[in-house]
Amino acid sequence: MRRPGLRAAVGVLVLLLLPLFGPSTAAAAKTTTEPTSTALPISYHADMAVDAVHRRLYIADIVTSSVLVTDFDGRLLRTLDKPGAADLVLSRDSRTLYVALSGGDAIAAVDTGTYREKARYATGEGTAPLRLALAGDTLWFSYGSDWDSNIGSLDLSGTRPTVRLGLVPWGTWAGPPMLLSSPAAPGVVIAGEQYLSSSNVTVYDVSTGKPVVRTTQDNPGGVGTINDLVLSPDAATLFIVGGYPYHHLAFRLSDLSVVHTYPTTSYPNAAAVSVKGEVAAGIDNSYGQDVYLFQSGDDKPSRIIDLEPGTGRSLRPRGLIWSPDGTRLFALTGEYGADLTLHVIPA
């Protein structure tokens, strides 16, 4: 038999209890927006990559010849031994993590399900591959040292992967350039000078299997030595980050013209753009704010974050990367000779 007054009585009880539980619930919700931190057993890093399928973050350290594996909450899960681990690229299906082995003259292919190395591709004695970019079925890599640096390729399309070296004119780069690619820009690889104050950025068409210059520019936007290169998810916008000028610049990929200036402050050193269009602009600031968050195209930050107030630690160059769904921003901070800290910042 249904009791008409029971539902009303329950409703009154809930209203009476809300003041007791409401504030604590709101406080719990607020705390979830605060960054969490994890100490890492490395004092340097060379690159990061995020894996949406396995919800993993990979961090390469060329100094300790290792790749750290964490979950999306920042917990350290595993350390992989890789000689001179310098750069990381995930396959499109996230099943394979490619690692540039600058200390092994090779590129390793690691199974992301088991963490076992399923292949190692030799790039040639003394090549010391440093940076990677994946375009279609071809891994592009920069290698060498000083003005003897160049760009090579590893064609993975056939049953026997093929390595080709010396694909751009010798003397083009003062050292192995940064490389960048995106599925949203098929057949394109971007290279950036990271060893000279007179920076150069070149956009290559690699659809024919050999780099062909689409557009190139010295000191785009007045940017000095390049600290980071980042593409927006739609690959229409390229962020070229250098210690000078004291703001973050967004460029049109097609012609490398400036399309927006994000006001930050001195010594920009990192950037990241989420799938939701949120721009994270990082700076090298030992005693102050580290990360400015903007909605794409905005002139004022929606949030400014000081990751380790008063410690003298600062954001690492190339020390920002978003989770693939745009709900978390990963940041690395450190200081000379001390272990790094991984911060997970909820969006």
- Average pLDDT, stretch 275-280? 97
Tell the residue number behind the tokens 């919700």, with chain if given.
29
Q: Which long-range contacts (CB under 8 A, 24 or more apart) does 281-284 make?
A: 281/248, 282/315, 282/319, 282/320, 282/331, 283/315, 284/243, 284/314, 284/315, 284/317
Task: Write out pLDDT tens, residues 29-58.
Answer: 344 578 899 999 999 999 999 999 999 999
pLDDT at 158: 86
Q: What are phi and psi of 25, to 5 degrees?
A: -65, -40
Note the pTM of the prediction, 2 decimals.
0.90
Question: If you average pLDDT over every residue of the chain, what do you get?
Answer: 91
Q: Is the pLDDT of residue 243 over 60?
A: yes
pLDDT at 17: 40
pLDDT at 32: 54
Task: Write out pLDDT tens, residues 146-205.
Answer: 999 999 999 999 889 999 999 999 999 999 999 999 999 999 999 999 999 888 999 999
Q: Is the pLDDT of residue 16 over 70?
A: no
Task: Write out pLDDT tens, residues 294-324.
Answer: 999 999 999 999 999 999 999 999 999 999 9
Q: Is the pLDDT of residue 81 over 70?
A: yes
Q: Is the pLDDT of residue 282 over 70?
A: yes
- pLDDT category of residue 8 using cuts at 50, 70 and 90: very low
From the DSSP assignment, how many helices (H) and strands (E) are in the chain? 1, 28
pLDDT at 188: 98
More confident residue, 218 or 10: 218
Task: Write out pLDDT tens, residues 326-335.
Answer: 999 999 999 9
Least Cα distance to 101 among 127, 138, 76, 135 occurs for 127
- Average pLDDT, stretch 219-225? 94
User: 211: cis peptide before it, omega within 30°?
Assistant: no
More confident residue, 5 or 318: 318
- Average pLDDT, stretch 94-107? 98
Can you give the length of the chain in residues? 347
pLDDT at 6: 40
pLDDT at 26: 39
Of all residues in the chain, what percent carry a pLDDT higher than 70? 91
pLDDT at 28: 39
pLDDT at 14: 38
